[in-house]
Amino acid sequence: MSAPTPSDLAYVPFVSVDHMMQLVHHIGIETMLRGIAEYVEADFHRWELFDKTPRVASHSKEGVIELMPTSDGEVYGFKYVNGHPKNTKEGLQTVTAFGLLADVYTGYPVLLSEMTILTALRTAATSAMVAKHLAPKGARTMAMIGNGAQSEFQALAMKALNGVDHLRLYDIDSNATEKAMRNLQGWGFTLTACATPEEAIQGAQIITTCTADKQCATILSDNMVGAGVHINAIGGDCPGKTELHKDILLRSDVFVEFPPQTRIEGEIQQMPEDFAVTEMWQVINGTAKGRTSDSQITLFDGVGFATEDFSALRYVRDKLHETGLFQQLDMLADPDDPRDLFGMVQRAKS
Ligand code: NAD
């Protein structure tokens, strides 16, 4: 990033929830999911450039609050995100987030954005980008287990990137399934509401688990998973919060984002420290194998990594000037003489 002029730095572009929704409609959600997936994949290609650290988590009995920082050496980014499965019962989101990009040269912020919607978009875009590499060729049917806030985004990304057009939906709360069925009408899917997870996975080549429960749950048990499927397990993303029986992991080839974080938070927290996994960036740049046979079970143990948020924020930033969908936020003190911060405060009195 070249050195910006002081006038560029006085205000920080801010993308509100309202502007993010307008951006989704302006671009079109499927185009936006494909666009974000391209940015996520491009940053996986540049993997070795990034500062990488497991996210910084503050756990409580009810949930978790996390910071997810990274940098490519020119731009720094972080996301603030929570995970509170009990929130929906109180009329609140399980996951809310906001994020920031900053210029490494000056340290000044260059974008502040809502990321509740953007997290749903980037998680779905990442799932679909990974499935493009790992799912059986020609997969058109997906079981969608967990029909909450993330679910429609997951479905649309799998359609936009991979041509999935049959969805089999299941949630322990039938109201959630009804909501997802309603929202996904008219998007080109054949939709089936299922009464059990066993029914949902019938004939599915891709199984997405996207449930929220603060426990080691068994959404899928070993006998439910047939040869050749791709499992997109994204709901288990915290210590003590998993979705799959560990025997499934023993039969699968497991693909992860950043192993030091996934070993803490992912399905593989159930396995020994040296349990073999493949890093997705290596599949993407061709140095590791993805799917190698029709009978192989591929499992994406997706917990969400900081570079994916960075990619999504980069995408949003690149759209700002063509759309104007942002406001300028007065969040940086800008005295004429940089050392006269006190004088600026005094002069404001008048
Ligand atoms: P949500 O609370 O809106 O929806 C979760 C749904 O799971 C609810 O409808 C609930 O009824 C259902 N559910 C709970 N237990 C179930 C079970 N045993 N069987 C079937 N359904 C069950 O949450 P959300 O925002 O959709 O997020 C879902 C999960 O994904 C959360 O755990 C969240 O932390 C995680 N998440 C992961 C990533 C990532 O990058 N991997 C990103 C965002 C969210």
d(CA 148, CA 29): 18
Residue nearest to atom 1 of ligand 1 (CA): 148
* Average pLDDT of the segment spanning 76-82: 98
CA atoms within 13 A on the CB side of 325: 21
pLDDT of residue 8: 61
Q: Percentage of the chain with pLDDT > 90?
A: 95
Give residue limits of the domains in the chain.
6-117+307-347, 135-304
Tens-digit pLDDT profile for residues 285-312: 999 999 999 999 999 999 999 999 999 9
- The rounded Å distance from CA 329 to ligand 1 centre is 33
Residue 27: name the closest of 311, 308, 318 by CA. 318
* pLDDT at residue 107 is higher than 90: yes
Confidence of residue 3 (pLDDT cuts 50, 70, 90): very low
- Fold classification of 135-304 is Rossmann fold (3.40.50)
The tokens of 273 are what? Answer: 């420290």
pLDDT tens for 184-198 read 999 999 999 999 999
Label the pairing between strands 12-15 and 109-114: parallel
pLDDT of 350 reads 80
CA of 148 to the centre of ligand 1 (A): 6
Residue 130: partners with Cβ closer than 8 Å, 6 or more residues away: 232, 255, 280, 300, 302
Ligand 1 and 148: CB distance under 6 A: yes
| Sign of the CA dihedral with 299 first, then 303, 307, and 308 last | positive
Q: How would residue 9 be classed by pLDDT, with cut points 50, 70 and 90?
A: low
Of 127, 94, 110, residue with least CA distance to 14 = 110
Q: Which CATH architecture has domain 6-117+307-347?
A: 2-Layer Sandwich (3.30)
Query: Which pTM was predicted?
Result: 0.96
The CA radius of gyration of the chain, in Å to the nearest whole number, is 21
Give the pLDDT band of residue 215 (cuts 50, 70, 90).
confident
